[in-house]
Structure 1
Amino acid sequence: MNFKTLSFLCILFSAINVIGQEVLEEQGDQPGQMRKDDHYGIFTLGFFQPITFGNNFAHEGLSQKGGWSFDFLFNVAESKILLGLNCTYFKNQVIQPSLVGNYKNTNITSIGPQFGYHFITQRHWRATAVMGIGAVIYRSSYDNEIFSDNGTSLWLKPTLSYQFTKNFGVFGSISYRHDFLNIDAPPGYNAFFKNANYIGLSTGVRIII
């Protein structure tokens, strides 16, 4: 993670913390107080749009087409600590075959556990931040040929949501994601082909049961 990305993430988390304190003051609740109706399963499903950056094959040779992301989270006992699972799927299209190879498109799927913290737990406003690690597969195709590369995905994702009712709400999130791929690359090109950096934007529905 470069210095600019780290600075961006620090600013983002600081902003979430400030928003959380303002919401707590407005609603009259004490910081750290967990609302009793929060001890349920939390499900989110939404549109996911990746934005690539850096010197790597995903940024230089592929055009991102978007997809979806699913999260399941639950509070551990009476704390604000969260455990759960994430599954994300999106597509891309080759725009520089001279750099990445002679194929047309790639479907990318990742799944893995995640843990985090519930910063805001109010009647309407909720905010969480999670980190996760999981398996990722890049499944590519050209005509009738299909091949794949696998690896490991790491992500960091803060989310802000608004509950219209106890059970139904909407959310928005921005995430940092880094994929490490098991690709055989020529000497000198390992960093270019074995890594991919993304900023992910997501919005959708949030359900508490």
Structure 2
Amino acid sequence: MDKKQMQHIKSRFFALRNGVIADRLRKSGSPYKIIFGLMLPQMEQIAGECVPSKELAEMLWNNRSTRESRLLAAMVYPREEFTAKKAEEWISDADTVELVDLLCFRLVRYIPEAEMLAKAYFCRGDASNRYVALRLSMNLLVLRTLSDIDEAYRMAQEELAANQGETIGVCRQIIDEIDWLRESGN
């Protein structure tokens, strides 16, 4: 990937910037030094202008100071080249819930080891790892590729009973989705 492509991407970020959203993200404690305030549809538009590339994704991912670079990395990484090892590396390096959500949605849920990773993250114990496990489980539920829905249901109920703030929403989503699946016979 050359400098021109990165400059083009940065110029697109600048052209689509939203100061109101950027200010809100800063005030809510976003860890990034540079925040353009782009929303996901705008990010997807920029991703659509890029040829999916592992090299480009890595360059964007390594631009740790810029929110939009990290998000775009998950959008331009070729899905078929994303591995369980890379998933663990990027998840451990993800510095926001927004980034974890996007990684799970765009890449991690498609790898063959996704369900195994979800179970492993839940067992690691801390809230951020349990969040990864639950978010990934929800993504697998939506794809209808989660083979052990009883285990996902148990994890969500256990976490909900512990009343952990950042995981409550995704726990409720999992429980509601599985209840619906069971009631509808799907």
TM range (shorter): under 0.3
Of structures 1 and 2, the one with the larger relative CO (CA 8 A, separation 6+) is: 1
Structure with more of its chain in strand, by fraction: 1
Structure with more of its chain in helix, by fraction: 2
**TM-score scaled by structure 1?**
0.23
**TM-score scaled by structure 2?**
0.25
Q: Which has the larger radius of gyration?
A: 1
